[in-house]
Amino acid sequence: MNEKYIARSSAVAARQLGGEMIIMSAADSTLFSLNETATVIWQAADGKTPLSDIVQLHVCQEFDVEPEQAYRDAVELAGELARHGILLLSDEPVSDAPLESVKRS
Amino acid sequence: MSLMAALNQKALSHGVPISVHLDVTYRCNERCEHCYLDHDGDGEMTTAQILNLLDQLAAAGVFFLTISGGEPLVRRDCFEIIEYTRALRFNVKLKTNAVLIREREARRLRELNVEQVQISVYSHRAEVHDGISKLPGSLNRTLAGIRLLRAHGLKVTLANVLMKSNLHDSEGVRRLAAEVGAHYTLDPTITPMMSGDTSVLRLRLPSSSLRSVFQNPDLVGDVAEFCAPPPPLDDDTLEGLPCSAGHTACYVSPCGELYPCVQFPISCGNVREQRFLDIWRNSPQLLEVRSIRGKDLTTCSSCNHLGTCTRCPGLAFMEGNMRGPSSADCEKSFVRTGIVSAGMLARASATSPAPSGLVQIRPFAV
């Protein structure tokens, strides 16, 4: 199995509201609302942690799901979000989005 | 329910200020005759204070952020501020006159994925636009900036504030917007200055001109629907909120004063002295604004226009009572539908001389 890496796109606007992540695509101003599971994956998408680890460390820890099914769902979700330009999906680690470095510690 | 409506509803139920308008400077390279801001105001927040505020706004859940002024680009740190807003993943709308937009600025705004740039254009004729902005050559410079922004793929909205001096130019601005691939919005509302100075109201369109605007399908869409009589008052309207000001939205001035809205000059606290969320949650002024429902409005609660009126609580506040009618909106409702508002009737009875005695008229007995 090839590892997958995911990183949040710097092109979108995003904010957590009541447990869900609200995201607006800069490309076409489409508004998305991620459910709690997808929000956990989005927040953990640092470009460095393999998706399988994200599922293991975050999704399976927080939700009562079977790991293999959770991973398949996560890959599908990541692909879907990548098609909308919300996530970057790669077989290699993804370097930090340029805007992330602007934030102060 | 659309996702946007659901988002606003969720923000309301969680007490989240989902939209904030932040003016970063009083200074401006134009002197638009209708502007609400006093350009001689001082005590602007420093870069560090603004970045700190942005951290607080993100933590409070703010998603939609409008950056305006004054002219934001006169601040040397303007791009530092915008970069920071985007690093915090705000959805950013920039309001500018575009006079200072060059290739570098347009490219950077695109790189930063600013959602939208809104630019005031008063006329397609330089003599009219420049006459309002008081900056010679401003229309040409603004249009050059707009073209650069569009060339870089930014979404641009031309905001056409309509007043006496540019009444006949809305069609020209609309054509201009279509030509450069920009959105067009029209606003016939001139508001008093934040300082309470009402002298700018002399620029407002008279009713007769407002009527021609409201009857123009190019500007309002379906005229029959836009000008339809209001439906009878119902419980939902009476239990409803007047607007989003202070509920899911607020305004922060260049010196850090927090208000429910840019058109609602009741100071609720200063973010240089208190944390944003402390003001947002505990300000007595905001709590009062939030307590008001349609049924609590002194005159408007009995007005059939209530459910469809654009009544602005800020304009009502500037007329002396945030629960009262706003005469400008009463006029708009009347001009739109031909039906007199409760506020107009109340004003008429308050200004009519009291009858000196009662005269009873009875038919003669035959």
Distances (CA, A) of B128 to B164, B172, B251: 11, 12, 30
Classify residue B97 by burial, with Cβ atoms within 10 Å: 0-12, 13-18, 19+: buried
Burial B293-316 (b: 16+ CB within 10 A, else e): ebeebebbbebbbbbbbebbbbbb
- The alpha-carbon gap from A5 to the nearest alpha carbon of chain B, in Å, equals 21
CA distance A86 to A79: 10
pLDDT of residue A65: 86
Element spanning B259, H or E: strand B258-259
In sequence order, the β-bridge partners of residue B80 are: none
- The alpha-carbon gap from B346 to the nearest alpha carbon of chain A, in Å, equals 43
* A-chain residue closest to B14, CA distance: A18
Please list the ranges in chain B whose pLDDT falls under 50.
359-360, 363, 365-366
CA distance A36 to A21: 8
A104 touching B (Cβ < 8 Å): yes
CA distance B337 to B331: 10
Which of A11, A22, A102 lies nearest to residue B87, judging by beta carbons? A102
* A-chain residue closest to B79, CA distance: A102
Q: What is the ipTM of this complex?
A: 0.87
Distance of CA B345 to the CA centre of its chain: 26
- The alpha-carbon gap from B304 to the nearest alpha carbon of chain A, in Å, equals 35
Tokens of B83: 């970069």
Interface test with B, best of A9, A22, A86, A96 (most B CBs within 10 A): A22
| In the block, residue with structure tokens 């933590």 | B59
CA distance A100 to A46: 10
CA distance B68 to B23: 5
Cβ distance of A100 and B62 shorter than 8 Å: no
Among left, alpha and beta (phi > 0; psi -120 to 50; other), residue B68 is beta
- If you write DSSP's letter for every residue of B4-57 in order, what string do you get? HHHHHHHHHHHT---EEEEE--S--S---TT-SS-TT---PPPHHHHHHHHHHH
Cβ distance of B113 and A12 shorter than 8 Å: yes
| In the block, residue with structure tokens 């890959």 | A75
* B-chain residue closest to A96, CA distance: B87
**Strands of A87-90's sheet in order across:** A46-50, A5-8, A87-90
A95 touching B (Cβ < 8 Å): no
* A-chain residue closest to B8, CA distance: A17
Q: What is the pLDDT along chain A (105 residues), one digit of tens a residue?
A: 688 999 999 999 999 998 899 999 877 888 999 999 899 999 999 999 999 999 999 999 888 888 899 999 999 999 999 998 899 999 999 875 555 555 554
CA distance B190 to B122: 13
- The alpha-carbon gap from B102 to the nearest alpha carbon of chain A, in Å, equals 22
Tokens of B139: 């229309």
DSSP secondary structure code for residue B205 in this structure: P
Interface test with A, best of B63, B94, B112 (most A CBs within 10 A): B63
Q: Is the distance from CB of A6 to CB of A87 less than 8 angstroms?
A: yes
Tokens of B308: 């469809």
- The alpha-carbon gap from B90 to the nearest alpha carbon of chain A, in Å, equals 5
Tokens of B180: 């450069």
Cβ distance of A17 and B155 shorter than 8 Å: no
Sign of the Cα torsion B193, B115, B255, B243 reads positive
- Measured in residues, chain A has a length of 105
pLDDT of residue B37: 86
Tokens of A23: 């995201």
| In the block, residue with structure tokens 């007047």 | B242
Q: What is chain B's mean pLDDT, rounded?
A: 93
* B-chain residue closest to A15, CA distance: B63
For residue B93, what are the contacts with CB-CB under 8 A and spacing of at least 6? B64, B65, B66, B67, B114, B115, B116, B117, B118
Q: How many interchain CB pairs under 8 A, A with B?
A: 63
User: CB-side exposure of B263: number of CA atoms within 13 Å?
Assistant: 16
Element spanning A49, H or E: strand A46-50
Q: Is the distance from CB of B124 to CB of B172 less than 8 angstroms?
A: yes
* B-chain residue closest to A100, CA distance: B87
Cβ distance of B91 and A24 shorter than 8 Å: yes
Q: What angle do CA B85, B89, B91 make, to 5 degrees?
A: 80
pLDDT of residue B366: 38
Side chain identity, residue A67: P
Task: Give the 3-state secondary structure of B53-82.
Answer: HHHHHHHHCCCEEEEECCCHHHCCCHHHHH
CA distance B2 to A33: 12
Interface test with A, best of B88, B89, B154 (most A CBs within 10 A): B89
